[in-house]
Structure 1
């Protein structure tokens, strides 16, 4: 589906869900949303931010009288801006404790981080512990991604072992796997595969991936944080109610299925039972 048709489909989905949304009250000012590339969920083209999540949020804004100012930033800087109170929203974010201190979280889907590689010859890896024992494997991760305490402890151990590369985005990690500069990465497969189109060096990886769940990295809520400091209580409440209503109506999961093939979502992305 072309971006234009995807945007029209998003508009129709939210129109159908309009009865579930709060009446348009309007935000008190434009909402500041820095964003980094995340598969087809958030795409960056120069200074332009696009993809499923910006399309959904912009259309939601039309319904409730809010506008959003998007800007591309590296993933690690995005989190620093949000925690410092210079960003109103943090999108495509996993729920972790330190972010909960800075924002109110609205879950959109659940995602399962997995071990991703292009090597089908090595023995299977079933856990982070297995990975840490395979010291010959070089690991490339996206700087700023966080899948909980076990993931953060793994980063510390891999760093001490001298075989961790922290990179600014998914495409850089994919190029490292394609060029045999790294052996494995960890993230939801939908985010990795969604970043491949449009780059001739890595597009061919999609059909060659080995995807392995790791015992210590379970399903984790992924969604949108609303700042507790930069947003007024009225704006935050309006946005939270609108987001929760749209998630519970099912339109966000329908949007995921429009932007991602079902084979990409299976076993690593699933709908939230109910947002709150």
Structure 2
């Protein structure tokens, strides 16, 4: 990080970390959050929605004194509901121009996609380009998930070879791998770690970081239609306060281990907060 930029950010970090819980009634109604299958970030078990990103939202609701309702959707359906204004809030989402039309992005974590490949398929790849050129496996992708332009370029090459299948969620992708009906997918650590354990695939797949998938910001989207600007500011400040005081790293650490939790919120949150300050 640039030293002068860091000097500007540090006072903000101290202010956010020290901010008290907010007691003013800013909620037009209970917050309606949307969730979908994102591994340890959000999952459904015994009809209860849980996960690291869900715990972040619950802590946000606690700090802002806002009741919170959480509804479960397939990933693509979640964004359709969000676009119609029926969802106030989503979490663990990557930023896109389309999503910016309907909401305000507030990052609180980082993420990256790895190639998860069945060991039944030969090959060891350091890039998706190598996978395209020298591999033979078909890649299962999930509807509603955003990938970098570099990843999408290689995915298009795979489509031309007839090596792409699209499924509704990660649970389907990994169950297909467990039943030997699929060979590969792209997923972040927070997602594949849960599904590999649930399907018994830990020793049957290889996880390969690929150069086309650099770390990107992920976080919450606050609805422009469902939340007034003043309310969005309160929620954004509270979320960034959780980044600054280490709460987000600790929450994720409960699910992925302390070291991984800290890695997902690099530089004690400074990089995430500085990125938010530079958003248009």
Matching residue of 1:6: none
- Which of the numbers 213, 218, 225 marks the counterpart of 1:217? 213
Q: Is the 8 A contact 2:217 2:272 kept in 1?
A: no
TM-score, with length taken from structure 1:
0.82
Equivalent position of 1:255 in the other structure: 251
Which residue does the alignment assign to 2:237?
241
How is 1:122-271 mapped onto 2 (pairs within 5 angstroms)?
Answer: 122-134=122-134, 136-197=136-197, 199=198, 202=199, 204-261=200-257, 265=260, 269-271=264-266
Tell me which moved more, 30-39 or 207-216.
207-216
Q: 1:125 to 1:191 in 2, by over 3 A?
A: same
Contact 2:113 2:187 in 1 (8 A): yes
SS in structure 1 of the partner of residue 219 of structure 2? strand
Structure 2 equivalent of residue 4 of structure 1: none
Deviation at 1:228, TM superposition (A): 2.0
What is aligned with 1:11? none
The whole-number CA distance in structure 1 between the counterparts of 2:35 and 2:116 is 24
Aligned 8 A contact 1:92 1:223 in 2: yes
Cα distance in 2, alignment partners of residues 267 and 129 from structure 1: 30
Describe how 1:108-127 pairs up with structure 2 within 5 A.
108-119=108-119, 122-127=122-127
1:95 maps to 95
CA deviation after TM superposition for structure 1 residue 67, in Å = 1.3
TM-score, normalised to structure 2's length? 0.81
Spell out structure 1 runs of 4+ moving beyond 6 A.
Answer: none
CA deviation string 1:110-131 (max 9, x = no partner):
1121111132872321222222
- Change over 3 Å in CA distance of 1:148–1:234 after alignment to 2: same
Report deviation, 1:146: 0.9
Q: Residues 189 and 211 of structure 1 are in contact (CA less than 8 Å); yes or no, is this contact kept in structure 2? A: no
CA contact (8 A) 2:102 2:224 kept: yes
Where does the alignment leave 5 or more consecutive residues of structure 1 unmatched?
1-16
Contact 2:250 2:258 in 1 (8 A): no
Name the SS for the 2:202 alignment partner: helix
Q: For residue 21 of structure 1, report the CA deviation from its aligned partner.
A: 4.0
Report deviation, 1:157: 3.4
Q: Is the 8 A contact 1:102 1:229 kept in 2?
A: yes
Do the aligned partners of residues 51 and 93 (structure 1) sit closer, same or farther apart at CA in structure 2, a change above 3 Å counting?
A: same
In the superposition, relative to structure 1, how do residues 274 and 189 fare at CA in structure 2: closer, same or farther (>3 Å)? closer
The residue that corresponds to 1:9 in the other structure is: none
1:83 CA displacement: 2.8
Distance 2:88 2:129 in 1: 37
Farther-moved stretch of structure 1 (104-113 vs 69-78): 104-113
- Is 1:25 matched with 2:21? no
Contact kept in structure 1, 2:103 and 2:221, CA below 8 Å: yes
Is 2:70 the partner of 1:74? no
